Structure formats: C-alpha cells, structure tokens
Amino acid sequence: MKHFQTIAELYTVNGFPPPENPLLGLITFDDIKGCVFAHTEFTMGFYKIALKKIRSGTVMYGKTKYDHDNGSMFFLKPNQIISMSDLELTERGFMIYIDEDYLLGHPLHAMIKKYGYFDYEANEALHLSPKEEEIIWDVFNKIRHEYDNNQDDYSKDIMLAHIDSILKYAQRFYKRQFLNRSVLSGTVTSRFSEILKRYFESGNLEKHGLPTVAYMASQLSLSARYLSDLLRQETGKAALEHIHIALVNEAKNILMSTDKTVAETAYQLGFENPPYFSRLFKKEVGLTPTEYREQFLN
C-alpha cells in the first residue's frame, strides 16, 4: 500500500500540476483532466476535504463505499486507508489537502479534530442540496482566489478562515441531513434500544462485559461517530449515554427484584469495577444503588 507523506509527493506521483504551497493543496477536477490516479489503495499523511461527483467507479474508506450521489462531500483525516477502482470523475468537483503543519499556531489546529465527520464512513458522506453546493463552491472559490494570487502575510489566515467556514457549513448541513433522512434517523433510536435489549437478554453482559459504542454501531452498519452524532441530534444524548441509561434501568430492576448486593449487581451487568458502577448509577439517578434500594424499604 502506498503512503503519501507529503502533498507534493501525491501531486507528483499522480501527475497533478505542482501545488502553490507545499502544505496546502487545492485541486479542481478541471485541473486534473487526463490524470490517472497511480495507486488504487493508499494512505495520506494529511487532511483531505472533497466535493466529488463521480460518473463511475468506486471510492472506499473505512469499511464502506462512497455512494456516488451528486454533490457529496467527504472528509478524511491523516492515515485513513483509501481504495479506488475504475474511477471516472465528472467535470465539477474539488479537493483540498491540508498538512497538519499548516495549521500550527492557528485555532483550527485543535478545532479540526472536533469535527466528528472526519471519523465517518464513506457511505455517510454529506449529500448537498443544489443551494448548499453553491454555498460551498462560493467559499472554495474565495480560497482559490487567495491561493492563486501572490500569497502574502495575510493569505494563510484568510484561507484558513475560509476552510473553517467550509467545515462549519458541513456541520450545519449534516444536522439538516440527520433531520431530513428520517428513514434512517427516525428509527435508529428504537433499533439501538432493541439491540441493547437483545444483548442483555442473551447473557452477553456477563459473558463479554459492557457493549461498546463501536459494537452497537457495527450492529447498525454505521460508524461509531456517525451513530453518536445522529442519536445526539435525535434525542440530545450520545450513544454511550444511551448505553449507560439502559444499564442503569436494568440495574434498577435487579436491585428491586432480587437480594443481590451492589457488587453482585455490578458484575451481572458486566462491570469489572463495582465502585465505577455505583458512580455511574448515582450520576444517572441522583442516588447510590444502596440509597435507591433503601428508599423503597422504608
């Protein structure tokens, strides 16, 4: 598998025009007409933001395929594995490559790690409406204007401000996507709860311990980050919070219907550390497990 450590190396190997800045690359599909991607599976040592319309072929990152919708954006962090085959691009699209060193000393260096969609799977790409796509293109063209016109002391801050605008717009548009794609988001909470219920009833808590967000996401064919963001948008709570609430509800049933000690209850629920279970219970209920049980005995 090929690893591109620098943006310049990626450009050279694929026959792209040389970048104006070794730490920041901007490419439109018009710029690379006739270029053929030299490697079908590779990793990159830098960030990538792309608006892609694909005429044919497949792009994969994570474990899933990018689904070709027109006007779709995706976001890659360094060292993600990317696979491409038989790729044919349409006329309109762009790619922004950002070396992490370019972000040093700027607030975006920390902020970019907080945009959860850099951890999404390919089939969780952002699907833009025509109006949203034009907004993104407008910001990209402002970056491109600054990039192509004799960069000076102000250029970096201006371009990074525009890149941050693209990322903020993406955050906004993803929220719209969560709301509009109700076929998925409208049922994910109930499906999530059903999977948890089956996990409890099958005895997996005692056998395998607490279910992780990654496990729950895999059962729903989603990435862990996308699942948490989708649940948070729908219910105000992230995936881990939903797991904790379900566990506490199960703990209430055990405390009220059996004589098991708090430690025995914790072990039955998959907790290796009973004090951690007690802290979690108190955080959710406002009482310790012992206090909760005693209020019904008095």
Domain boundaries, the chain: 2-127, 184-297
What per-residue confidence (pLDDT) applies to 154? 93
Report the candidate in 165, 163, 157 with the shortest Cα–Cα distance to residue 106: 157
Sign of CA dihedral 86, 91, 92, 96: positive
90, 55 Cβ separation under 8 angstroms: yes
**Hey, what CATH topology would domain 184-297 get?**
Arc Repressor Mutant, subunit A (1.10.10)
Query: What CATH code would you report for 2-127?
Result: 2.60.120
pLDDT at 169: 96
The CA–CA distances, whole Å, from 276 to 99, 267, 272, 280 equal: 40, 11, 8, 6
Q: What span, in angstroms and rounded, lies between the C-alpha atoms of 162 and 166?
A: 6
Quick: pLDDT tens for 23-62. Answer: 999 998 887 776 566 557 888 999 999 998 665 556 766 6
Q: Judge whether 118 and 167 are in contact, CB under 8 Å.
A: no
pLDDT value of position 89: 63
**pLDDT value of position 91:** 64
Element (H, E) at 95: strand 94-98
> pTM value?
0.70
Q: Which residues of the chain have pLDDT under 50?
A: 182-185
Burial class (CB in 10 A: 0-12, 13-18, 19+), 51: buried
Model pLDDT, residue 203: 79
pLDDT, tens only, 181-192: 544 445 677 788
